[in-house]
Amino acid sequence: MPTRDQHSIDDDWLDSDAESQAEDSEDEPTVPCRYCRREILEDCDRCPYCEQYISSEDGPPISKPRWIIAGTLLCLFLAYWWIFN
């Protein structure tokens, strides 16, 4: 049966291990979660705080460039003008 001194030695070892893990995590790149805005590791699949899955499909929609929209409207206008004139 372990004595009280052995328990305190084990606890000291666990405390120093936790400190070294905290120092290691500071070096890893983080990004804000899209849902709760807390800092999470960049390669996480799921936020540990709000438990939402992070994927590229969940990102904000990418808007079309203005020249594509303007060109489409111009083509529609020319087709309309050609058909009805």
pLDDT for residue 18: 46
Residue labelled with tokens 């590791």: 41
pLDDT for residue 7: 54
State how far Cα 6 lies from the chain centre. 43
**pTM, entire model:** 0.38
Cα 12 to Cα 1, 9, 20, distances in angstroms = 19, 5, 13
Predicted confidence (pLDDT) per residue in 3-61, tens digit: 555 555 555 555 555 455 545 556 788 999 888 999 999 888 889 999 888 877 766 66
